[in-house]
Amino acid sequence: MGGSVVGVIPRALTLSEVAHQGLTELHVVETMHERKALMEKMSDAFIALPGGFGTMDEFCEMLSWRQLSIHHKPVGLLNHRGYYDALLALFDSMVRTGFVDPQTRRLFVDAPAIEELLEKMFASSHPSTNSG
């Protein structure tokens, strides 16, 4: 209670998707890249909820930006009801086959419940590295 909600949406999507008018702030930008850049600038952390291709695009971009040290903010994946089990197995496979460094795999955390996820995200032991 008492929080604020900030939305960032590309102008083209305001025509095909609902641009929620009940937000604390709504920023309309020209491109998806501008959207992600503004969201990164305004955010303290990133949490991906169950979603589709757009969610994966944004999650992977924020994760790769962390890998490249473009930001050092916590990144989390809410694995509600095992939604991301297959994706997590893929990430682990990428480590086993040598395409992702184990330290890089630890640049984000996952949990099935938001309370546990937030605890993991803000634990002092959460790594900050650009290896991989």
Q: What percent of the chain has pLDDT over 90?
A: 74
Query: What are the extents of the domains in the chain?
Result: 1-42, 45-132
Question: pLDDT digits over 69-88, tens only?
Answer: 999 999 999 999 999 999 99
Please say whether the structural domain 45-132 has been given the CATH code 3.40.50.450: yes
Copy the structure tokens of residue 61.
């971009």
Q: How far apart are CA 58 and CA 93, in angstroms?
A: 21
Asked whether the predicted pLDDT for residue 130 surpasses 50, the reply is no
E strand or H helix at 10: strand 6-10
Question: What length does the chain have?
Answer: 132
Backbone phi, then psi, for 33, in 5-degree steps?
Answer: -65, -45
Nearest of 33, 103, 110, 44 to residue 72 by alpha carbon: 44
Per-residue model confidence (pLDDT) at position 22: 80
Between residues 87 and 128, which one has the greater pLDDT?
A: 87
Tell me whether strands 25-29 and 109-111 are parallel, antiparallel or unpaired: unpaired
Residue 5: pLDDT above 80?
yes
